[in-house]
Amino acid sequence: MQNAYLNSVGYAFWFLETEMENTGIRKNAAVMVFLLVSVLLTGMVSGCTSDKSVRTYLQALLDASYKNDPAAFVEIKLGTAEDAQALYAQGIDTGVSVFCSRLGVSDDHKEEFRQIYMDLLGKVRYTVEDAKKQSDGSYNVTVSYEKMNIFKPALALHEENVAAMMNEWAESSEPPSEEDMVAAVYGEFKSSMETVLAEVQYDAAASMTVRIELIDNVYTPNADDIAELEKALFDGE
């Protein structure tokens, strides 16, 4: 009877280890890139036609997408506050799907990560600074930022806590089912992210340039530069 129990526990732990690898939490949490580019590009449809508002234009797109702040969006008449909210909601839907897909989180658990994802985006640090006009009519906009250290410390805490859970299960006379173990792993990773995010640490300030290009008489942020900015905001690489 005891051997049967030990074999059952051993199989369950093997299953859990395999499932953790399949979910991608261990492998992908430290190399996360959100790819909000698609979200920001949605806001570029209206564009910006005044060079005087190029800096505010980039501020509007970033604030609406990350901070759910429509002030600059409304100020330069990209749309109404309701339009900005719709853009943000679309971005959250897209972002949560990408976020969970890269972590391997199943659809059954995806909604559990929505609020932590929104909180994460809300804590990014950036400042849109000077915009300098170029000879071709485009602008180089300086953006200062502080990289958020979230994924690497959250992953380290997660693995430590999962190891403790596995030891507890090993000593239990009735370990959880495989399904409950997997759910516990997902829940623990969310909890670890919340713990780290509560007192999140940032690197020293740095800066980069985002090009605002003039395409068909409409100013549009360069998608590659937006992607690089997003990578710079998080400890994803």
pLDDT of residue 32: 42
pTM of the model: 0.79
94 Rama sector, left if φ>0, alpha if ψ -120 to 50, beta otherwise? alpha
Structure confidence by residue, pLDDT tens digits, 88-103: 888 888 888 877 777 7
User: pLDDT grade, residue 7 (50/70/90)?
Assistant: very low
Quick one: tokens of 22?
Answer: 């399949």
Q: Which residues pair with 142 in a beta bridge?
A: 209
Q: What's the one-letter identity of residue 180?
A: D
CB-based contacts of 3, cutoff 8 Å, min separation 6:
none
Let me know how long the chain is: 237
Predicted confidence band of residue 169 (pLDDT cuts 50, 70, 90): confident
Question: Do the Cβ atoms of 50 and 17 come closer than 8 Å?
Answer: no
Half-sphere exposure of 71 (CA within 13 A, CB side): 4
Token readout for 231 is 């990578």
pLDDT of 191 strictly over 70: yes
What contacts 65, CB < 8 A, 6 or more positions away?
A: 36, 39, 40, 43, 87, 88, 91, 121
Token pair for 153? 């410390």
Supply 33's token pair: 């890139």
Position 49 scores a pLDDT of 55
pLDDT tens digits for range 14-59: 444 454 454 454 444 433 444 454 455 444 545 565 656 888 888 8
Query: What is the pLDDT, as a whole number, of residue 162?
Result: 85
Please name the amino acid found at residue 67.
Answer: K
**Burial of 146 per CB tally in 10 Å (0-12, 13-18, 19+):** middle
**234/196 Cα distance (integer angstroms):** 13
